Amino acid sequence: MSKHVLFVCQSCHHSSQERAENQLADGTLLLNQLNTLYAEQFPANELEIQPVGCLGTCDRPCAVAFSALHKPTFLFTNLPLTESTVALLQFGEVYLANKTGDISGKYFPQMLRSASIAKIPPVE
């Protein structure tokens, strides 16, 4: 099986106000939530959760991207911090199980249907 990666922007932040020096960005909090839930519920380690400095969607936080060789990349933005963790891992299961990665929106968890989504074709 090819490597599947969930990229998580750790610099995303919903508030337009400056964060206190010791306050974590929302993206870092999302990354921590994903890592914790993934370790508890998905022991097979089929999906690598990888932090990135910035995914360039600063006006639409929080942002993540699912990517794998020979599959389209799915970029999700406008993700609410507290409600999206479970839905993202559910989508990850669908993405892993689908050989081509060509996933119709009807198979997205309900919570992700309200996010901004980009489907980027695979590099062949």
Which of 28, 87, 85 minimizes the C-alpha distance to 52?
28
- pLDDT tens digits, 58-69: 889 999 999 999
Residue 45, classified by CB atoms within 10 Å of its CB into exposed (0-12), middle (13-18) or buried (19+), is exposed
- pLDDT tens digits, 34-84: 999 999 887 677 899 999 999 999 889 999 999 999 999 999 999 988 889
Domain 4-120 has CATH 3.40.190: no
Rounded Cα distance between 4 and 60, Å, is 24
Rounded Cα distance between 18 and 70, Å, is 40
pLDDT at 19: 62
Q: What is the mean pLDDT of residues 78-99?
A: 93
Q: Is the pTM of this model over 0.85?
A: yes
Strand intervals (E) in 13-59: 47-52
Kindly give, in sequence order, each residue whose CB lies less than 8 Å from that of residue 7, ignoring residues fewer than 6 positions away: 50, 51, 52, 55, 64, 65, 66, 67
Question: What average pLDDT is seen over the chain?
Answer: 90
Domain edges within the chain: 4-120
Which of 38, 28, 26 minimizes the C-alpha distance to 88?
38
Distances (CA, A) of 19 to 13, 14, 23, 55: 9, 10, 6, 19
